[in-house]
Amino acid sequence: MCGICGALSLRGAPLDRATLEQMTATLLHRGPDDSGVWLRADEYGPACVPALGLGNTRLAIIDLSADGHQPMRDAAGRRWIVYNGEVYNFGALRDELIGRGIPFHSRTDTETILHLYAERGAACLELLRGMFALAIWDEADRTLFLARDRLGKKPLYYYRDDDWLIFGSEIKAILAHPAARAAKRMNADALPAYLTYGYVPTPDTLFENIHVLPPAHYLTARDGIISVTRYWDAPIAIGHQPPAMSNDEWAESLLAKLREAVKLRLVSDVPLGAFLSGGLDSSAIVALMGEAGAGRVKTFAIGFSDEPSFDERPHARRVADFLGCEHHEFVVRAQSVDLVPLLVRHHDQPFGDSSAIPTYLVAKCAREHVTVALTGDGGDELFAGYDRFRAARLAETYRRLPGVVRRAAEVVAAALPHGTGYRDAARNAARFFRSASQPLPARYLGWVGVMSPEVVAELCGSSFDPAAHFGEYFRMNGARDPLPALLDVNLRTYLPDDLLVKADRATMAASLEARSPFLDHELVELAARIPPDLKLKGGVGKYILKRALAGRLPPEIIHRRKHGFGVPIGRWFRQGLRDYLTETLLSERAMGRGILRGEAVRALVASHLSGERDYGHALWALLTLEVWQQMYF
């Protein structure tokens, strides 16, 4: 695992080594084992055009020797690569290349990719099974090639103006370049989307002119012309008849592919373990690691001593005991919010998902014992694990009720005061009834959004229509069942822009590599072919996954209700962090920015502190926004 960065002059501006080294130094947490830069001017003279530099910091996982140093060049000196990620099938690809007489100087996937690109160009991406972000410079073609993995597990950002194309694994590397730093401005147009979702949707960021290279895309820059191309699309099971297979056959096929994905991710020259929440997905990964010969698996869990409804440690402990794991636990307390500046610094943007706190802490705990950790990320997106999927089907029935019945239910739900427990019935009912009668995109946004369109409008006076924006992601193709479309939307929005950003920044902040077997693209393609009714069967989510894992985990874990990786942020803000919240959000400095309407912020804080409504997640989004403003502007 690594950090990468670089800059390409589009109109002849020079690039100095000090700038390139400063950019690279911002990414040392992503790769503390080694670092390097390559400046084209060093090889072709200070006046070479175009000016180009590549930088890398390395977390050594495969081939720990100096042979894995980056930037890496091919034997002919024609191509240079910087690369972040793991290609799990590189061994087979490498053997095939060696069989054709191609010499290797390392045992790395980095060198394998470089040779494949030399043979196939952009088409080499089709062969790679894993997670990656990479940059390759081809001297003969004067072409810079950037690419990102299919699901977006590894990040890649870029800045573009008339003179420069600047890229990096994190925005901080880009801002270390004088051109990007001088142009640093908040992207005000993206603010309503951030307030709505809790993140800025790809390809935008909250910085003007800094963009995300979308998952499953590559970028080429040659002679000042830049193009972005999609090379893979997430499959969606709408309008396609699945193969005629029995439930047992689907379960066997799923289990075989998941086993294969886990086994591939056990290749490592450093110690590895797994995050374990006690939920089905992480428990399945740990069980299959043991079956694949990983020995006594080191597992890591986190919990909350002051809020039992959020604490999953007893369930994780049950799984660890059942599977004979070497288990480690960590406790989060309200004081952990002291991590807010650290988290914002690693995200480079405000981030509305407060579970970034425990994710970072469990990664930090795990890094004391291992360098690689497998996770259960992706299981909910593939097999309908979230309550929102059940709500979507329930809403189809609800919408057929008489209007007077629906209005009465909505009035009653809206009047109930909100608690701060994980499954607070009043809060969940209000959220369901507020959106259940709306069209599918608006309905679903009401369940996954951090703030409602009304709250966003009050805060920033925006005419942004989040439902219309969100609706662009829906591919219904005339289907009656909303589930396939909703799974697809999750895979293309919430997963890469929230969950995977959180996982990458939290683990890389701790110099830990995270691997996600459920996000193996071949498993994703298989999951898309499984009939929707085997994912959400009646009211049971992940039905086919539970069937596949029968006998491998305790029954109470397999049939346990979904529990997200949340934090009791609402309770914290009403109790121990009350002063921190008000002193930050209601300070003269914050109120004077003019970005948000002060009276709307005060009303949101007052409503939450009074117990009338639980706005914990919304206030966390505002808190990280203010800390980000203090840090960057």
Q: Are strands 272-275 and 298-304 parallel, antiparallel or unpaired?
A: parallel
Mean pLDDT of 340-356: 94
Q: Which amino acid is at 142?
A: R
pLDDT digits (tens, 9 = 90+) for 158-211: 999 999 999 999 999 999 999 999 999 999 999 999 999 999 999 999 999 999
pLDDT digits (tens, 9 = 90+) for 267-280: 999 999 999 998 99
What percentage of the chain reaches a pLDDT higher than 90?
Answer: 71
Q: Mean pLDDT, the chain, as a whole number?
A: 90
Segments of the chain assigned to CATH 3.60.20.10:
2-187+205-230
Spatial distance between the Cα atoms of 45 and 29, rounded to a whole number of angstroms: 32
pLDDT at position 237 is 60
pLDDT at position 416 is 61
pLDDT digits (tens, 9 = 90+) for 545-559: 999 999 999 999 998
Question: CB–CB of 117/79 below 8 Å?
Answer: yes
Spatial distance between the Cα atoms of 282 and 376, rounded to a whole number of angstroms: 4
180 or 577, which is more confident?
A: 180
Spatial distance between the Cα atoms of 114 and 458, rounded to a whole number of angstroms: 51
Specify the CATH architecture of the domain 247-384+487-558. 3-Layer(aba) Sandwich (3.40)
pLDDT digits (tens, 9 = 90+) for 398-443: 666 666 656 666 655 665 666 555 556 556 666 677 767 778 888 8
pLDDT digits (tens, 9 = 90+) for 591-614: 999 999 999 999 999 999 998 888
Per the annotation, the verdict on 48 as an active-site residue is no
For residue 19, which phi and psi values (nearest 5 degrees)?
A: -65, -45
pLDDT digits (tens, 9 = 90+) for 359-407: 999 999 999 999 999 999 999 999 999 888 888 777 776 666 666 656 6
pLDDT at position 478 is 57
Mean pLDDT of 113-131: 97
Q: Which CATH number fits domain 2-187+205-230: 1.20.1560.10, 3.60.20.10, 3.90.45.10, 3.40.720.10?
A: 3.60.20.10
**Location of structure tokens 């003969």:** 140
> What's the angle, vertex CA 17, arms to CA 15 and CA 19, rounded to 5?
70
Q: Which amino acid is at 624?
A: T
pLDDT at position 179 is 97
Segments of the chain assigned to CATH 3.40.50.620:
247-384+487-558
At 211, is the secondary structure helix, strand, or coil?
Answer: strand
Question: CB–CB of 9/49 below 8 Å?
Answer: yes
Which residue out of 2, 5, 124, 325 is catalytically annotated? Answer: 2
pLDDT at position 440 is 81
Spatial distance between the Cα atoms of 504 and 359, rounded to a whole number of angstroms: 10
pLDDT digits (tens, 9 = 90+) for 45-80: 888 899 999 999 999 998 889 999 999 999 888 999
pLDDT at position 412 is 59
The closest alpha carbon to 171, from 605, 414, 505, 574, belongs to 505
What are the strands of the beta sheet with 34-39, ordered from one edge? Answer: 34-39, 52-58, 2-9, 164-168, 157-160, 210-212
